[in-house]
């Protein structure tokens, strides 16, 4: 038989396609994959997903109706030790009575090269863990065995769900490269889903429709009457026929999503698929619509037994309130008293969620509760005191931005008091928080305030109060290069909250050691801290210091940067291009007031030039003032970050601005002998 050159090329391409297709099956790991030392398109990658395929389908059971089954298979390559985290896979699932799910892992194998041959290590039962998170959710986790640099991992998991409306996001992109990602859905005609895509990369989509038939056996018994003792039993087959809509989403060669400074949550910008059931229409039944907009969604949530009903429960705290509210008249006094009472008496157990676990009454009695129990309790108490208080549903930074109306859009709830001067936001899970000064996890764009009359209101969670760090530093320099001085550091609002959370429970010696190490190894003495627990006042720390590393003597000239160890050493923005917004968390001003005493016998040869720069659209500004009089130098440097969320279009502007700040902060005074 004679093959033309064109035919040979065709068969070669066909074999290549078949070979690649086979590589997307479990158990087909190759020596080449195990020998690969780095990712061909991203040498910095610590691991890569060689392929990940998901399939969501519906199976009909005569006695149960449709059950949703999702199967996922994956192959992951480990390049470096830093990629060992990818040897753990966690799947969350529902344990609610009305929407129970089950998760099972299988075909979990680690592949390594041993003497040039492929060695397989299968996952055993001691590498599988099942943990209850709360009364509604649990997690199943596997940790793959015998993982090394160069390993290839494979696994499969299946999720069976009684609730056909539960849909999971499919992430095509993550923080490591993804060579191939495919997701298929097989949906009966009775269900209509809203499908949304997020991120900056979009899959190739194909759709097809076909008839599907499910057959099942039925049994019928006939009673022959009084004259016979025999019962006639007959069997017959029936079927259910419906149209099935198949959709396939494929995305290949997906780059790792690189994180950088001032990112809210990198998952917000991941190329993903988000599905939400919008309506059902079964044969001979009316169309049923679900929560397709925010209004209907929050109405649904408010009616939950473990949400709305908990707000009406007040009997458990009424006796204690008589003493608490005695003599308090103004709304401000009542808000502060109730807020402090809840923070002081109910400890947060660390669990998120907008629904109660054990209920507010039990949380009050046990002095511990989840987010919903604490903040719904706070809301109920504020209402009981005559204030217009309502819960605010939010999505924390860890949960991502609530882009589409669905039950998974929220994972947290706080309290709000509506006043003539505006809305006051409160989160009693954080002991160091104050009114409108929320923990950073809450600061995630928009929340939804919901009232008992089923109306709702968008609430901007972005702070407007400028948080400040003001550093007053006086120091002198001697000719031997020793710098000694005093520092007074004052922190307000969110800066104070962050400091208190991070440091107040740290032992003094451990904190001072950390303070010295992060500030270029200075020696700290006479340390004093004021207003530790007075949340209405800025926190202030004062101390003396000795610095021997911020001084250079070259050719009998002294070089010193006025900000010493406070100067930012490098630009936090390093990427050439950034597609996602910059998030500064809250408006902030950092100000340094510095007085320098020159060493005896030295004068100023040169000073850094003053600077006053601002970005377009008043996003940020930096002012640097310096003056010399006799043996004194005065410096004032002020950095203002005025806008909290900055569009990616301004990335180059912000990057260039910060480079100017870094350069100026590190410019040096030059001193020479008289």
Q: How far apart are CA 374 and CA 387, in angstroms?
A: 18
Domain membership flag for residue 14: no
- Domain shared by 269 and 340, yes or no: no
Tell me the residue ranges of DSSP E strands in 420-506: 422-426, 446-450, 456-460, 467-477, 483-491
- Domain shared by 264 and 340, yes or no: no
pLDDT > 60? residue 517: yes
Residue 481: per-residue pLDDT: 84
How many domains does the chain fold into?
3
Residue 189 CA, chain-centre distance (Å), reads 35
Residue 4: per-residue pLDDT: 44
- Residue 103: pLDDT band (50, 70, 90) is very high
Find the mean pLDDT for residues 207-235: 65
CB 400 within 8 A of CB 265: yes
Q: How far apart are CA 479 and CA 598, in angstroms?
A: 9
Task: Give how far Cα 20 sits from Cα of 24, 42, 50, 395, Å.
Answer: 7, 21, 11, 41
pLDDT in tens, 280-322: 888 888 888 776 678 888 888 888 889 999 999 999 999 998 8
Tell me the residue ranges of DSSP E strands in 223-308: 232-254, 272-280, 288-289
- Residue 97: pLDDT band (50, 70, 90) is confident
Q: Give the residue from 431, 460, 489 where a domain finishes.
A: 460
Domain membership flag for residue 626: yes
Task: Give how far Cα 403 sits from Cα of 198, 416, 444, 460, 609, Å.
Answer: 9, 22, 11, 14, 46
Domain membership flag for residue 409: yes
Find the mean pLDDT for residues 634-644: 98
- Residue 239: pLDDT band (50, 70, 90) is confident
Average pLDDT, the chain: 90
- Domain shared by 455 and 472, yes or no: no
pLDDT in tens, 115-164: 999 999 999 999 999 999 877 789 999 999 999 999 999 999 999 998 88
Tell me which residue of 184, 189, 84, 187 sits closest to 143, measured CA to CA: 84
Residue 489: per-residue pLDDT: 98
Task: Give how far Cα 350 sits from Cα of 134, 347, 369, 501, 588, Å.
Answer: 11, 9, 8, 14, 28
- Residue 236: pLDDT band (50, 70, 90) is low
Q: How far apart are CA 332 and CA 420, in angstroms?
A: 12
pLDDT > 60? residue 411: yes
pLDDT > 70? residue 20: no
Q: How far apart are CA 364 and CA 342, in angstroms?
A: 9
- Domain shared by 313 and 434, yes or no: yes
Find the mean pLDDT for residues 518-525: 96
Domain membership flag for residue 263: yes
Helices (H), 547-623: none
Q: Which residue has the tokens 């966690």?
A: 90
At 346, is the secondary structure helix, strand, or coil? coil
DSSP track, 611-644:
EEEE-GGGSEEEEEEEEEETTEEEEEEEEEE--S
pLDDT in tens, 320-362: 988 899 989 899 999 999 999 999 999 999 999 999 989 999 9
CB 572 within 8 A of CB 261: yes
Residue 134: per-residue pLDDT: 78
Torsion of CA 103, 107, 112, 113, to 10 degrees: -170
- Domain shared by 67 and 103, yes or no: yes
Q: How far apart are CA 597 and CA 606, in angstroms?
A: 15
Residue 13: per-residue pLDDT: 40
Residues 6+ apart with CB under 8 A from 339: 378, 426, 428, 435
Residue 231: CATH number of its domain: 2.60.40.3140
pLDDT in tens, 578-592: 988 999 999 999 999
Tell me which residue of 326, 435, 420, 330 sits closest to 378, measured CA to CA: 435
Share of the chain above pLDDT 70, in %: 93
Burial 591-623 (b: 16+ CB within 10 A, else e): bbebbbbbbeebeeeebbeebeeebeeebbbbe
Share of the chain above pLDDT 90, in %: 73
Residue 361: CATH number of its domain: 3.10.620.30
- Domain shared by 196 and 62, yes or no: yes
pLDDT in tens, 369-391: 999 999 999 999 999 999 999 99
- Domain shared by 307 and 427, yes or no: yes
Q: How far apart are CA 625 and CA 612, in angstroms?
A: 8
At 244, is the secondary structure helix, strand, or coil? strand
Q: Give the residue from 253, 280, 307 where a domain finishes.
A: 280
Question: In what order do the strands lie in the sheet containing 88-94?
Answer: 88-94, 137-143, 128-132
At 580, is the secondary structure helix, strand, or coil? coil
Q: What is the pTM of this model?
A: 0.83
Domain membership flag for residue 641: yes
Cα-only R_g, the chain: 32
Residue 150: per-residue pLDDT: 97
Residue 278: per-residue pLDDT: 82
Q: Which residue has the tokens 């406070």?
A: 566
pLDDT > 70? residue 654: yes
Domain membership flag for residue 23: no
pLDDT > 90? residue 214: no
Find the mean pLDDT for residues 506-523: 95
- What is the span of the domain harbouring residue 576? 467-673
- Domain shared by 276 and 261, yes or no: yes
Residue 212: per-residue pLDDT: 86
Domain membership flag for residue 16: no
Burial class for 227, CB neighbours closer than 10 Å (0-12, 13-18, 19+): exposed
Torsion of CA 509, 513, 514, 519, to 10 degrees: 140
- Domain shared by 129 and 229, yes or no: yes
Tell me which residue of 394, 405, 316 sits closest to 353, measured CA to CA: 394
Tell me which residue of 501, 483, 482 sits closest to 491, measured CA to CA: 501
Q: What is the 3-state secondary structure (H, E, C) of 102-122?
A: EEEEEEEEEEEEECCEEEEEE
pLDDT in tens, 541-554: 999 999 999 989 89
**How many residues in the chain?**
674
Q: How far apart are CA 167 and CA 164, in angstroms?
A: 8
Domain membership flag for residue 7: no
The residue with greater pLDDT, 627 or 193, is 627
- Domain shared by 55 and 142, yes or no: yes
Residues 6+ apart with CB under 8 A from 105: 89, 123, 128, 140, 142, 155, 156, 157
pLDDT > 90? residue 21: no
Helix or strand (DSSP H, E) at 56:
strand 47-61
- Domain shared by 323 and 355, yes or no: yes
pLDDT in tens, 590-627: 999 999 999 999 999 999 999 999 999 999 999 999 99
- Residue 234: pLDDT band (50, 70, 90) is low
- Residue 217: pLDDT band (50, 70, 90) is low
Angle at 275 between CA 273 and CA 280, to 5 degrees: 155
Q: Give the residue from 460, 493, 516 where a domain finishes.
A: 460
Burial 146-172 (b: 16+ CB within 10 A, else e): bbeebbbbbbebbbebbebbbbbebbb
Residue 102: per-residue pLDDT: 94
Residue 64: per-residue pLDDT: 73
Residue 290: per-residue pLDDT: 74
- Residue 226: pLDDT band (50, 70, 90) is very low
- Domain shared by 178 and 53, yes or no: yes
Tell me which residue of 612, 610, 614 sits closest to 633, measured CA to CA: 610
Among 59-63, 216-220, 617-621, top mean pLDDT goes to: 617-621
Instruction: Return the number of other C-beta atoms located less than 10 Å from residue 248's C-beta.
Output: 16
- Residue 2: pLDDT band (50, 70, 90) is very low
């Amino acid at each position: 038989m004679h093959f033309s050159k064109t035919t040979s090329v065709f068969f070669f391409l066909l074999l290549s396609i078949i070979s690649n297709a086979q590589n997307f099956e479990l158990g087909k790991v190759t020596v080449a994959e195990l020998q690969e030392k780095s990712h061909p398109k991203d040498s910095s990658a610590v691991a890569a997903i060689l392929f990940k395929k998901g399939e969501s389908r519906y199976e009909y059971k005569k006695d149960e109706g449709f059950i949703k089954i999702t199967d996922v298979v994956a192959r992951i390559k480990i390049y470096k030790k830093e990629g060992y985290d990818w040897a753990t896979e966690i799947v969350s699932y529902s344990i609610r009575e009305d929407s129970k799910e089950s998760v099972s892992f299988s075909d979990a194998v680690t592949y390594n090269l041993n003497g040039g041959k492929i060695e397989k290590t299968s996952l055993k039962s001691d590498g599988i863990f099942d943990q209850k998170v709360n009364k509604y959710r649990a997690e199943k986790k596997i940790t793959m065995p015998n993982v090394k640099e160069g390993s290839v991992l494979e696994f499969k998991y299946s999720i069976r769900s009684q609730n056909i409306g539960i849909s999971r996001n499919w992430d095509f992109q993550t923080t490591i490269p993804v060579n191939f990602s495919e997701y298929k859905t097989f949906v009966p005609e009775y269900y209509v889903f809203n499908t949304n895509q997020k991120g900056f990369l979009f899959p190739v989509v194909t759709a097809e429709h076909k008839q599907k038939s499910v057959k099942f056996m039925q049994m019928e018994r006939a009673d022959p009457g009084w004259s016979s003792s025999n019962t006639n039993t007959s069997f017959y087959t029936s079927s259910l026929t419906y149209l099935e809509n198949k959709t396939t989403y494929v995305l290949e060669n997906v780059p790792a999503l690189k994180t950088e400074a001032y990112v809210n949550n990198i998952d917000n910008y991941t190329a993903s698929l988000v599905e939400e059931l919008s309506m059902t229409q079964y044969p001979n039944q009316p169309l049923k619509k679900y929560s397709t907009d925010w209004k209907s969604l929050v109405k649904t949530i408010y009616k939950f037994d473990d949400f709305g009903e908990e707000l009406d429960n007040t009997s458990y705290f009424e006796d204690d309130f008589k003493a608490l509210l005695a003599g308090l008249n103004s709304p401000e006094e009542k808000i502060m008293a109730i807020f402090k009472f809840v923070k002081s008496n109910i400890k947060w157990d660390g669990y998120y969620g907008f629904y109660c676990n054990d209920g507010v009454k039990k949380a009050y009695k046990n002095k511990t509760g989840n987010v919903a129990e604490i903040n719904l309790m706070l809301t109920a108490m504020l209402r009981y005191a005559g204030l217009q208080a309502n819960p605010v549903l939010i999505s924390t930074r860890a949960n991502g931005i609530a882009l589409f109306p669905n039950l998974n859009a929220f994972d947290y709830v706080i309290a709000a008091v509506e006043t003539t001067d505006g809305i006051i936001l409160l989160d009693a899970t954080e002991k160091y928080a104050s009114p409108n000064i929320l923990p950073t996890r809450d600061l995630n764009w928009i929340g939804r305030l919901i009232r008992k009359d089923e109306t709702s209101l968008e609430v901007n969670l972005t702070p407007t109060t400028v948080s400040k760090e003001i550093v007053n530093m006086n120091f002198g320099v001697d000719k031997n290069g020793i710098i000694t001085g005093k520092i007074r550091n004052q922190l307000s609002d969110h800066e104070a909250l962050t400091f208190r959370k991070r440091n107040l429970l740290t032992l003094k010696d451990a904190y001072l050691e950390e303070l010295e190490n992060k500030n270029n190894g200075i020696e700290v003495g006479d340390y004093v801290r004021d207003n530790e627990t007075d949340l209405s006042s800025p926190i202030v720390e004062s101390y003396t210091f000795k610095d021997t590393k911020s001084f250079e003597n070259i050719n009998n000239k002294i070089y010193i940067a006025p900000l010493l160890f406070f100067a930012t050493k490098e630009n936090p923005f390093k990427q050439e291009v950034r597609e996602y917004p910059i998030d500064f968390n809250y408006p902030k001003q950092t100000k340094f007031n510095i007085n320098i005493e020159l060493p005896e016998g030295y004068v100023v040869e040169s000073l850094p030039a003053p600077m006053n720069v601002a970005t377009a659209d008043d996003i940020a500004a930096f002012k640097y003032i310096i003056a010399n009089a006799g043996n004194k130098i005065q410096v004032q440097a002020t950095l203002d970050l005025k806008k909290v969320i900055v569009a990616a279009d301004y990335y180059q502007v912000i990057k260039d601005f910060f480079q100017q700040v870094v350069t100026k902060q590190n410019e040096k005074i030059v001193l020479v002998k008289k």
